[in-house]
Amino acid sequence: MTKTILNQLGIYGWKEQDENLIMASLLTGDPLLMIGNHGCAKTHLAYKMAQALRKRFAAYDAGKSLFDDVLGYPDIEKLKQGQIAYISSKVTIFDKEMVLVDEINRCDASMQSKWLEIIRSRKIMGFPTAIKWVWAAMNQILLRFILSFIERYVFNKLCDVFIGGPNDSAT
């Protein structure tokens, strides 16, 4: 049996094509969205990859992370001088080289545009960060529910064409 890079990190059960996408993201710096079942090691994979690459890493739960968690608290002394700056902590994003936005599908509405800016430009509120890689993760079961909902209640209401899934038989 060939030992893959993920296997060497202690992660098993992922397909070769998944590993290829992960490696492509690492090489290009393009964002990566991992969609999989609960417990398939999406978060663990990001942590182990950052550890293997010796990169400063943070995993943020998009459903729970607040603006102050990610950005830090405003620096009052700098504000008095007319400057905008934030006080860093272990969880602030500025010094992180690799970031995982976990449960991105559960993102709080007040943080959606901030996560988008981080994913697209590696900045937050226009401030540069050290981020090289941004990955996101979500559970597949919710994706199936969302797609099913859209198919049943949106497409069927807008048009008379039924879009069948892979298990539907042709009539």
With DSSP H G I counted as helix, E B as strand and the rest as coil, what are the percentages for the chain, rounded to 5?
A: 45, 20, 40
Each residue's pLDDT, cut to its tens digit, for the chain (171 residues) gives: 568 888 999 888 888 888 999 999 999 999 999 988 888 899 999 999 999 999 999 999 998 988 888 888 889 999 999 998 888 888 899 999 999 999 988 888 888 888 999 999 999 888 899 999 999 998 876 666 666 665 555 554 444 343 333 343 433
What is the reported pLDDT for 49?
A: 96
Q: Domain of residue 58: give its range.
A: 5-158
The pLDDT of residue 31 is 93
pLDDT on residue 143: 61
pLDDT of residue 80: 95
Q: What is the CATH number of the domain that holds 110?
A: 3.40.50.300
Q: At what angle do helices 42-53 and 16-28 cross, to 10 degrees?
A: 50
pLDDT in the model for residue 96: 96
DSSP state of 170: P
Tally the domains of the chain. 1
Per the domain annotation, does 124 fall within a domain? yes
How many Å apart are CA 125 and CA 127, to the nearest integer? 6
Decide if 118 is inside a domain: yes
- Residue 48 in any domain: the answer is yes
Q: Is 163 helix (H, G, I), strand (E, B) or coil?
A: coil
CA gap 95, 103 in Å, rounded? 22
pTM: 0.78
CA distances from 54 to 11, 49, 72 (A): 18, 8, 24
168: in domain? no
Residue 25 belongs to a domain:
yes
**Ramachandran region, residue 13 (left: φ > 0; alpha: ψ -120 to 50; beta: rest):** left
Is there a domain that residue 20 lies in? Answer: yes
User: In the prediction, which pLDDT does 163 show?
Assistant: 36
Q: Is 65 exposed, middle or buried (0-12, 13-18, 19+ CB in 10 A)?
A: buried
Tell me, yes or no, whether 164 lies in a domain: no
- In this prediction, residue 112 carries a pLDDT of 87
Q: What single-letter DSSP state applies at residue 84? A: -
Contact indicator for 72, 87 with CB cutoff of 8 Å: yes
Residues facing 134 on adjacent strands = 99
pLDDT of residue 144: 64
Within a domain: 45 = yes
